[in-house]
Structure 1
Amino acid sequence: MESLGVPSINGGSGGSGGYIRTIEWDMMNKYKFFPLSVLSSFSARCVLYPFTVIKTRMQIQRHSELYKGTFDAFHKIFKYEGVGGLYKGFWISAFQLVSGIFYITTYETVRHFLQHQGVRDSRIRAMAGGGCASLVGQTIIVPFDVISQHMMVLGQLDGLGKSRVVFNPLQISYIGQKKPQIALDIVKTLYKKDGIRGFYRGYFASICAYVPNSALWWSFYHFYQEHLARLAPAGTSTLLLQCVAAPLGGVTTVILTNPLDTVRARLQVQRSGSFGHTFRVLWGEERMGIFTKGLSPRMFQSVFFSFTIILGYESVKRFSVSDEYKEEVRW
């Protein structure tokens, strides 16, 4: 059955419930959606950013020379560098909010286009939309990502808390410098060494890591959502099912794509040459450990990020839905 061309809780488009599960792009008031979406995304990033710092530091270290695991890294960073150590590069990374607007607009637009082209499988539309959205988003955010990652690892302390440089590939003088000046020095040094290309170092690796990651995440999100809807008792909150499906999709995607993300981080921060060369060096150092390197913080980050982003995203869509559809949308 068809009802507004939108999948229902039962996996079809109308279903016995007679209500809308997926709120489509043309069903929302964009003047409400965009401001609420930015606010929701920023709030989630504030809470989850420390996991990004921990993940990046664990990915670029050799073996486990400094951090033994997620909780060990959190403890050492907090103990020796304070809260500021967990938020290094945050304001540079916050520019991801700009790319986020383009990301979600691309995702929803592609899904909407494919639906009108007769593609009814929500997982296929989600995969295509997620992949295209990531391509657009990464093109915008990679320069900020490169800068923020250098700030994340700059001046980290060793396991004994000694104030010595553990990693400073650009040879930036950061002692006594304020964060804006450090960021400016990184920008100047990158441009001096590599020109504009320096800000897109690892772009290909980012595309190889994030496009499949995004495509798979959205596809698994819809996959788990549909199966949970079939198993759940009648009347179960749609938002609850979505908030369970998102972390499941995140965990599945992280396990499948972790080596790609590790190569991306190494390539952008360590300036280690081509994608293939970086992979070979990493394989020589870690062997099968490439599949688990930085996996635990990335897993934690993905679970919490998936949950909070979907909770915020789907709630924002419900708050932004046009008046004509409000009675057909349930929480």
Structure 2
Amino acid sequence: MLLGIWNRKVERKTEEKMASTMVENPPPHLITTIEWSMMDKGKFFPLYTLSSFTVRCALYPLTLVKTQIQLQRKKEAYSGVADAISKIYRHEGVSGLYRGFWLSSFQIISGVFYISTYEGVRHELGKYDVSPKVKSFIGGGCASLVGQTIIVPFDVLSQHLMVLGLVKGRAGGSKNPKINPLGLNLDARLSKSQLAREVARRVYQQHGVLGYYRGYLASLAAYVPNSALWWALYTAYQDELLKICPTWVSHLLIQCVAGTLGGFTTTILTNPLDIVRARLQVEGVGTMRKVFKDLWAEEGLWGLYAKGLSARLLQSACFSSSIILGYETIKRLAVADQYRAHVRW
């Protein structure tokens, strides 16, 4: 009996000592979101720029194919993504898949402003009682507004270059105002830089300075909701996956899956707006309402909603997972030393 009382006293003292130790040295808290204030900006920006350029370079052919499929009439050129890639490669080689890339690569500049705005807005909203999902939604919308204001002129020019792939090799294609609205002479032996300058000159001649911002409102209508929804859904999917996944599952893997799911959801919801944006920027036909009406008259619900959807879903899946992989990896590499132990890979 005395031995039992002694054992209970020893057990109680051991438990009290363990509890005291845990209070003095609490287990590290897992940081699921690395905030703007936690990072070394001198490391973050160079790494983010390099990562963004690499991802855009690797995935640009999908962007080009998506644009050409959206702008073709019915299935006059390509029956799908695989058919488009094989035909472009067969007729023009690798350079055909990267038509307009160097102009489009200026998106890297807007990307820096985009991510700075996103993180900055989230940082400011963090001073108030705002939920993470709402912070991500507002931050994503503001970031897209800033990014599109910078990139639309380059987007307009690069899409004119992209769509020339629909003209090349087609009898009378260069005279078709729908796919060659600038009336470019493709028989002239122009270098890529000369062709880009010619496109910029023709846009200015026909539409003035505002021609470089043709489709700007359509871009905002397509991309601001897309960006806001994507970041909010990314945060929401990540939170739900963290609840159901075992602790040994890589947090970075969970974030990549959450980004991909967010990309799929927003692509399905906003695809009609992206089709209208692409047509307005290249063809310059009136208003968003007119483009909607023309698409409905030409191709019905399929043309209005599903045109280029498979290409955009494929692009979105690759782009979302790649961007998140690069973005979240760079945040971990750039995080300040005092937070490093609290971040799980």
Q: Provide TM-score, normalisation by structure 2.
A: 0.88
Question: In the aligned structure 2, how far is the partner of 1:284 from the partner of 1:108?
Answer: 42
Could you tell me which of 213, 216, 230 is aligned with 1:217?
230
The one-letter code matched in structure 2 to 1:173 is: N
Q: Which of the numbers 31, 36, 40 marks the counterpart of 2:51?
A: 40
Partner of 1:9: none
Specify which of 99, 104, 110 is matched with residue 93 of structure 1.
Answer: 104
How do residues 1-331 of structure 1 correspond to structure 2 at under 5 angstroms?
Answer: 18-119=29-130, 121-156=131-166, 165=174, 167-175=179-187, 176-289=189-302, 290-331=304-345
**Is 1:126–1:215's contact at 8 Å kept on the other side of the alignment?**
yes
Which deviations, in whole Å up to 9, do the C-alpha atoms of 1:153-195 show, x marking residues without a partner? 114357x877953731101223310010111011111111111
| Post-superposition offset of 1:258 | 0.2
C-alpha separation between the residues in 2 aligned to 1:244 and 1:330? 16
Answer yes or no: is the 8 Å Cα contact 2:77–2:166 preserved in 1: no
Secondary structure, in 3 states, of the residue corresponding to 1:58?
A: helix
Deviation at 1:26, TM superposition (A): 0.6
8 Å contact kept, 2:96–2:165: no
Amino acid at match of 2:126: Q
Query: How far did 1:330 drift?
Result: 1.4
The C-alpha deviation readout for 1:130-170, integer Å capped at 9, x for no partner, is 00000000000000000000000114357x87795373110
Aligned CA RMSD, in angstroms, stands at 1.7
Looking at CA atoms only, which structure, 1 or 2, has the larger radius of gyration? 2
Q: Retained in 2: the 8 A contact 1:247–1:307? A: yes
Contact 2:218/2:280, CA 8 A, preserved across alignment: yes
Q: Is 1:81–1:157's contact at 8 Å kept on the other side of the alignment? A: no
Give distance in 1, aligned partners of 2:210 and 2:118. Answer: 27
The offset of 1:17, in angstroms, is: 6.8
Is the Cα–Cα contact under 8 Å of residues 174 and 182 in structure 1 kept in the other structure? no
CA distance in 2, matches of 1:89, 1:259: 23
Q: Is the 8 A contact 1:80 1:157 kept in 2?
A: no
Q: Larger helix proportion, structure 1 or 2?
A: 2
| In structure 1, distance between residues paired with 2:145 and 2:242 | 30
Q: Show the counterpart of 1:8.
A: none
CA distance in 1, matches of 2:224, 2:275: 15
How many residues of Structure 1 are paired with residues of Structure 2 in the alignment? Answer: 315
The runs of at least 4 aligned residues of structure 1 exceeding 3 Å deviation read 155-158, 160-166
When structure 1 is superposed on structure 2, of 279-288 and 87-96 the one drifting more is 279-288
Q: Is the 8 A contact 2:38 2:336 kept in 1?
A: yes
Could you say what secondary structure the match of 1:328 adopts? coil
Whether contact under 8 Å (1:53, 1:152) holds in the other structure is yes
- Relative to structure 1, the CA distance from residue 298 to residue 16 in structure 2 (aligned partners, 3 Å threshold; closer, same or farther) is farther
Letter in 2 for 1:132: C
Give, in angstroms, the shift of residue 280 of structure 1.
1.1
**Contact 1:25/1:109 (CA < 8 Å) preserved in 2?**
yes
Contact 1:155-1:168 within 8 A present in 2 as well: no
Which runs of no fewer than 5 residues in structure 1 stay unpaired?
Answer: 1-14
Distance 1:284 1:226 in 2: 43
In the TM superposition, residue 104 of structure 1 has moved relative to its aligned partner by 0.1
Structure 2 runs not aligned, ≥5 long: 1-25
- Provide the secondary structure at the position in 1 that maps to 2:229: helix
Residue by residue over 1:308-327, the C-alpha shift from the partner in whole angstroms, topping out at 9 and shown as x without a partner, is 00000000000000111111
Task: Assess, with a 3 A threshold, how the Cα gap between structure 1 residues 107 and 302 changes in structure 2: closer, same or farther.
Answer: same
One-letter identity of the residue aligned with 2:182: L
User: Aligned partners of 2:172, 2:166: CA distance in 1, in Å?
Assistant: 8
Summarize the Cα distance change of 1:16–1:205 in structure 2 as closer, same or farther, 3 Å threshold: farther
